[in-house]
């Protein structure tokens, strides 16, 4: 048996048939994990906070104060379940697999689906846009297929923001499910390179632009570091959208800039949580005066580029001096409807008005995966998914639930169509929610399906009727 490498641990790992490769301290033979083998060493015990590692028993108290698994103090903007829907018991409904439904039950569900989508005014229009800020990177031959695919999506999202009059200075962009923060990066790049005589003299100060990135898990290879020291306020919050109170984020209460919500593949229930976060946060200030003057963008893109005032009607705020600005609009790429949850879903009232409830919603969410996963070749498994992430960066989707009952009366093409109808109905509830809050909302296919099967973008700006009533 070969000896341990110099400066490496001398403990032999039986399972791996080799010595431990950990570096040891000066004068030591074993690493920290195997220090119990050292003569005169203290006994090592399992860390009570995380059983994946051990600690010297005589140093336990000191370790617990700095262990990475210790409970950290919650930030001021953490308010537990502030963006969750009401816990009325329906969220505890037992999930029933489609394979447990009889053919008669499935036929009944399909009849309810077809009735519910009849006359539904939320058609998805084809509207593939782009933005010149990404053109050079799109033409870069060093980018592989995956990078090129994401650049196309980011370019179209920026194009939609531009067309809606939302891409400009004097705003705070809140990126939900930010991941590495690429979308915020390109928003900053687009505004930095804009040749606007009215703002050219202020390009170095960036006093009228904020970018807030929200992601619940730690992320590697973040692009935030590229923007350190450039003057723009770039801040990242590691918090679940479910517990985020925007009215208590210090960055937003400093300058009270209007908010624009953005997101690229905001997965399942995360979309509903983000909508509640923007539209139902108690402390968000809403304007009651005349409409805000629209900040100049590069070129008007037709009537859509005029941004009306925010939803009128004051919202009670215990401290009127500390609040962010009004919501000026949003653009969110939708993803993974099968991961939606009834409690968080913003379209509950929309479903109930159509005689549908939590049970039908659960079934339609499962069926929605047929729209995308039915196109995967037989036997091909989806890529592994990070359960802690709220975004669908890799567009991973669970396989469609195939059963003998379903296969007996639905072809593959029919299952795909049913899946699309389920997505359309779920998104219809989101549009209904936004309209009841005074926003004009629409669904657009913002990229070709060859780029991604999850190619629908949800956009919203305050409606003209809200503007006129406000003025």
Q: Does 396 or 179 have the greater pLDDT score?
A: 179
- Distance between CA atoms of 87 and 37, rounded to whole angstroms? 53
| Residue 274: its H or E element | helix 269-279
Which two three-digit tokens encode residue 34? Answer: 């195997």
162, containing H or E segment:
helix 145-163
Answer yes or no: are the C-beta atoms of 444 and 386 closer than 8 Å: no
Residue 68 banded pLDDT, cuts 50, 70, 90: confident
- Mean pLDDT for 396-419 is 69
Task: State the pLDDT at residue 208.
Answer: 83
> b/e per residue, 217-232, with b = 16+ CB within 10 A?
eebeebbbeebeeeeb
Q: For 139-165, what is each residue's pLDDT tens digit?
A: 999 999 999 999 999 999 999 999 999
Higher pLDDT, 217 or 346: 346
> All domains of the chain, ordered by start, with CATH?
100-470 (3.40.50.150)
Q: The tokens 């879903």 sit on which residue?
A: 345
Q: Which residue in 280, 432, 272 sits closest to 336, CA to CA? A: 272
pLDDT, position 315: 36
Mean per-residue pLDDT over the chain, rounded? 80
| Phi, then psi, of 445 in degrees rounded to 5 | -80, 100
Residue 59: predicted pLDDT: 87
- Say what percent of the chain tops pLDDT 90: 49
Bridge-based pairing state of the strands 439-445 and 171-176: unpaired
DSSP string covering 301-367, please? -SGGG---PPPPS----S-TTS----EEEEEEEEE-GGG--TTT-TTHHHHHHTT--HHHHHHHHHH
391 has pLDDT over 70: no
Residue 354 has pLDDT above 70, yes or no: yes
Interval 13-37: pLDDT, tens? 988 889 999 999 888 888 877 877 7
In 3D space, the residue among 441, 99, 94 whose CA is nearest the CA of residue 275 turns out to be: 441
């Amino acid at each position: 048996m070969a000896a341990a490498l110099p400066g490496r641990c001398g403990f032999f790992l039986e399972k791996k048939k080799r010595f431990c490769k950990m570096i040891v301290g000066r004068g030591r033979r074993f690493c920290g994990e195997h220090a119990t083998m050292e003569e005169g060493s203290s006994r090592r015990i399992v860390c009570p906070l995380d059983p994946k590692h051990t600690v010297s028993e005589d140093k336990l108290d000191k370790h617990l104060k700095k262990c990475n698994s210790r409970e950290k103090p919650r930030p001021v903007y953490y308010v537990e379940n502030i963006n969750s829907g009401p816990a009325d018991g329906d969220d505890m409904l037992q999930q029933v697999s489609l394979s447990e439904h009889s053919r008669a039950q499935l036929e009944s569900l399909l009849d309810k689906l077809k009735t519910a989508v009849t006359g539904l005014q939320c058609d998805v229009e084809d509207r593939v846009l782009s933005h010149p800020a990404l053109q050079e990177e799109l033409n870069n031959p060093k980018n592989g297929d995956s990078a090129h695919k994401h650049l196309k999506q980011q370019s179209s999202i920026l194009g939609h923001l531009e067309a809606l009059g939302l891409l400009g200075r004097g705003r705070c962009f809140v990126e939900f499910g930010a991941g590495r923060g690429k979308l915020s990066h390109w928003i900053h790049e687009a505004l930095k390179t804009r040749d606007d005589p009215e703002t050219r003299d202020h390009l170095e100060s960036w006093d009228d632009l904020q970018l807030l990135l929200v992601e619940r898990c730690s992320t590697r290879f973040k692009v935030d570091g590229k923007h350190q020291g450039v003057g723009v306020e770039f801040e990242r919050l590691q918090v679940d959208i479910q517990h985020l109170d925007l009215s208590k984020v210090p960055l937003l209460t400093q300058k009270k800039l209007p908010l624009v919500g953005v997101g690229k593949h905001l997965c399942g229930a995360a979309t509903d949580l983000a909508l509640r976060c923007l539209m139902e946060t108690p402390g968000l200030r809403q304007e009651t005066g005349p409409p805000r003057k629209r900040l100049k963008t590069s070129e008007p893109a037709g009537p859509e580029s005029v941004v009306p005032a925010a939803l009128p009607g004051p919202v009670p705020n215990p401290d009127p001096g500390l609040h962010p600005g009004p919501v000026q609009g949003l653009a969110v790429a939708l993803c993974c409807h099968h991961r939606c949850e009834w409690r968080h879903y913003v379209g509950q009232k929309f479903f109930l008005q159509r005689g549908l409830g939590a049970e039908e919603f659960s079934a339609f969410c499962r069926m929605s995966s047929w729209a995308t996963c039915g196109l995967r070749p037989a036997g091909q498994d989806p890529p592994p998914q990070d359960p802690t992430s709220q975004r669908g960066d890799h567009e991973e989707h669970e396989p469609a639930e195939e059963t003998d009952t379903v296969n007996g009366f639905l072809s593959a093409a029919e299952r795909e169509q049913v899946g699309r109808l389920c997505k359309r109905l779920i998104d219809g509830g989101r549009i209904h929610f936004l309209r009841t809050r005074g926003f004009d909302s629409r669904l657009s296919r913002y990229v070709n399906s060859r780029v991604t099967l999850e190619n629908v973008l949800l956009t919203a700006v305050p409606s003209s009727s809200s503007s006129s009533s406000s003025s």
